Structure 1
């Protein structure tokens, strides 16, 4: 049952799955306490076990001012299969938070819970935009020139030309809303930058993007090294390639951090060098902090859906809320619809889908 405060709110900025994640609900509420300082005008529908949430919320005054609690008796465990979540999760905190978006009570949802379950429930309940063939999973990553948007990161292992064009449109809208870029450059991942490289679907997608009907700032083909170089603002690829690129990048960052630690602890002179370099290394660590990039977004749905890493802390969850609020504030969903309206209906798939 909703708290009395809920009835006084016409529409919530976000619905929050309070029970999703490795350290929920404490980390979720701690994150909302931080987010409350940045978004004092926001209103959050906190969905979860009311008996647990009420005393915890009382100790976090900033979040308490912005939150209303809706009781959910169940929670979806991290190891539950998406098909089970669809059948058995109707009274879960994740499902009821998603239901609030589908019903128009909230503009978006943030969850640190089971990724597969979140994607399945969001696609079934909130539904994909009519113009979108498949939703895409997107995230922000660091580069030498600033943050870049990467998609798809695993939602669609196989894509056709039309899917890739749609990903470009959604990535453009996301970069405008979250990164504040007025005309983000779009790059299509390929095995080479030459126009004749790649398979038929990639070349067909490039032809559409070059044609100008989408109104996008299309850079052309890019390669893997262009991600870290920041050659473009939005990197578009199929989900198989995107997931490999994401995990490779995460591994490279961990490797670099481990190597730096080894170098600066290898000898007494190295330790002294660390003391001298410490201010610069602290800035580097802050720039590379994975919590700063927490919050993957499922694009192409009739509402904002943000997936926080399950093991994140308060700072990481607050960043996921920041991402969702940016998308809500800037009318992200409407931006995608307007961009799609410029895309001709006859735009491929010229290559048959392989579901």
Structure 2
């Protein structure tokens, strides 16, 4: 009989904002945004006090200030966040070597076999969270289940500073009741498309055949078909080196003018900046990905001797766009970075290739 895997997903609560509040007691209990300002820029993280006003990560600083007039903006300190993240991972490795970080503030742990000999993943997660609080001073949430998808889903159930478990016998009934926008990996664009098809929760999704889902959602259709049935075979991947970091968006209508192209690329670039800030990653190669209305894909790249700064990356995107005329209406744009600093440093990050813009 095959042993049931025991996977924990640990997710730090409002990580950047919580670090700032921990280091500066004057900020505790106050609405705080890391990144951006009242005139421009993008919020990288928001404290729970700010979230009560509707302030969220990836929101413009201007919009955040409108929602919360007394919002405090602080500049991000990524070296500090990386320092704290390293200490948190040291706690993880006390329990298992099978650790797959997704970013500075979250990771998967496979504790099926573990260093402390505890058969209960639930108790291990509780102990890890207690150690993070005691040794570092921050709150973490956790999800426990038999695969990564369900563990990730479970970690959101009792946030902040809580944990939840989804047992194998409960998985399908839980997923049937789950709103479609709560499924990890189904973002705003995809969930709206599903709702237009009458798919509002897991039960609705389960009624559609694999053939229908692959026709409507391409390769993702098989993934959707499986996850609603509690099937997700991806294993926890320690030591996986990220090869690229990117963001892309598929448009509801094809874009035909440079004005539309620039507006779309600006939004995608803001999302890429958010992911760069969250991960602390830099890349020497900038790539522009273009998918035309006939599904032909073209990529244009430029590699630098040194890691380009934010302004240089955007300037390069514009140069690549105008490198040669676009041949037909555009269905998709993507902006990516490769030749990353993590490849040189051998930092343990999860692999992330071209991610949809609507992926959380």
Same topology, TM > 0.5: no
Which structure shows the bigger proportion of residues in helix conformation? 1
TM-score normalised per structure 1: 0.30
TM-score by length of 2: 0.30
Higher strand share: 2
| Greater relative contact order, per chain length (Cα 8 Å cut-off, separation 6+) | 1
